[in-house]
Amino acid sequence: MRAPMLVLVFASALAVAQIAFAQKTPAPPVLEPLPEAPPPPPEVANDPELEPQVTIVRRDRETIEEYRVSGRLIMIKVIPKAGRPYYLVAEGPNGSFVRHESLDTGLRVPMWLLFSF
């Protein structure tokens, strides 16, 4: 009794598999070639006006680095002989300088480990 039942189940599974494989897959859509890419823009990074110009002034008790872009003083780095260096960064249109102990913005991006393989 079990043998004919197994043969019937096997035959049914075989018939379903043949029907599934016999179906034709649809033809892929007609593909068109991509248009030519536009030429890259001129290199902005090589513009000497955008490169910071650094002037280094050495004194007895400190070294001062002045950073200028397009002739405008944007930052001063003061490196004393004893102590930690600090920065004077120009802020606002009037060019007033604000002292920073480092150029770190304080932004800490979370770097959580979600998965490990």
Q: Which fold has domain 53-100?
A: S-adenosyl-L-methionine-dependent methyltransferases (2.20.130)
Lowest-confidence region among 61-65, 91-95, 97-101: 91-95
Q: What is the rounded average pLDDT of the residues 57-72?
A: 91
| pLDDT value of position 46 | 62
Single pTM value for the model: 0.51
Total residue length of the chain: 117
| pLDDT value of position 47 | 64
